[in-house]
């Protein structure tokens, strides 16, 4: 394990949510824990719903100095004042997104457990690469990203790496010196109190 700093925190939205209730769950997390980035990862393809949600969540995030990216829909980024895009299909659209959004926008890419795909995405201009899941989960095809991948990446590659999918206390402990970011999504939103669950996973509470 090679990192001296603790990983930064990254939050992923549920695929579906009621915006007012979700906002009340999100605000205390952003107010009490330092979060570097929030990803809006909606399953809907309905443009008005995405636009309305993006505007509300952007205001919540930006008022707390938290960057917000949207999953895949990079044409929403500039129109709705977002900070960038997270691409769920690896390196495929990184270059196109970068050309569309410019140098200042965040472009991230999910690369499953593929070292090659991650390297390709980084060379195409991705600001970060995410690998996962880290334990049994229904994310993508369920293939597990081995912790050794993060150790190798952090040793050999400068592009920041994110761990996402199936995070639990053991995974967090195992990866805290080998990843730049820990990304929490359904792990916290499935709990009755997402903030308490996040604190638990981070070891801030029993």
Percent of the chain with pLDDT over 90: 89
Contact 96, 105 (CB under 8 A): no
User: What pLDDT, on a 0 to 100 scale, did the predictor assign at position 200?
Assistant: 96
Percent of the chain with pLDDT over 70: 94
User: What pLDDT, on a 0 to 100 scale, did the predictor assign at position 1?
Assistant: 43
Residue 15 clears pLDDT 80, i.e. is over it:
yes
* Rg of the chain over all Cα atoms, to the nearest angstrom: 16
3-state helix, strand, coil in the chain (%, to 5): 40, 15, 45
Would strands 67-71 and 37-40 be described as parallel, antiparallel, or unpaired? parallel
Contact 100, 74 (CB under 8 A): yes
User: What pLDDT, on a 0 to 100 scale, did the predictor assign at position 23?
Assistant: 97
**For residue 204, what pLDDT band results from cuts at 50, 70 and 90?**
confident
- What's the pLDDT tens digit per position in 136-177? 765 556 689 999 999 999 999 999 999 999 999 999 999 989
Q: Which domains are delineated in the chain?
A: 8-201 (3.20.20.70)
Residue 20 clears pLDDT 90, i.e. is over it:
yes
- Return d(Cα 117, Cα 127) in angstroms, integer: 14
Residue 70 clears pLDDT 60, i.e. is over it:
yes
Residue 3 clears pLDDT 70, i.e. is over it:
no
User: What pLDDT, on a 0 to 100 scale, did the predictor assign at position 4?
Assistant: 57
- Return d(Cα 191, Cα 14) in angstroms, integer: 12
Cβ-based neighbours of 123, under 8 Å, separated by 6 or more = none
pTM of the model as a whole:
0.94
Distances (CA, A) of 136 to 140, 152, 167, 187, 192: 11, 22, 9, 12, 21
Q: What is the mean pLDDT of the chain?
A: 94
- Return d(Cα 153, Cα 180) in angstroms, integer: 10
């Amino acid at each position: 394990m090679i990192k001296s700093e603790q990983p930064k925190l990254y939050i992923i939205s549920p695929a579906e949510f009621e915006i007012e209730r979700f906002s009340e769950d999100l605000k205390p997390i952003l107010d009490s824990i330092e979060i570097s980035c929030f990803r809006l990862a909606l399953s809907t393809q309905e443009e008005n719903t995405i636009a309305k949600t993006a505007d509300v969540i952007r205001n919540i995030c930006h008022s707390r100095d938290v960057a917000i990216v949207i999953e895949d829909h990079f044409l929403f980024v500039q129109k709705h004042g977002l900070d960038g895009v997270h691409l769920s299909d690896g390196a495929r659209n990184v270059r196109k997104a970068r050309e569309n959004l410019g140098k200042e926008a965040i472009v991230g890419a999910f690369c499953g457990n593929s070292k090659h795909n991650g390297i390709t995405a980084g060379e195409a201009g991705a600001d970060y690469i995410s690998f996962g899941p880290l334990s049994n989960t229904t994310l993508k095809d369920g293939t597990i990203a081995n912790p050794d991948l993060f150790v190798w990446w952090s040793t050999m590659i400068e592009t920041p790496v994110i761990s996402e999918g199936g995070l639990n206390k053991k995974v967090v402990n195992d990866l805290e010196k080998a990843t730049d970011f820990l990304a929490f999504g359904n792990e916290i939103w499935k709990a009755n109190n997402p903030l308490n669950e996040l604190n638990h996973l981070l070891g801030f509470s029993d």
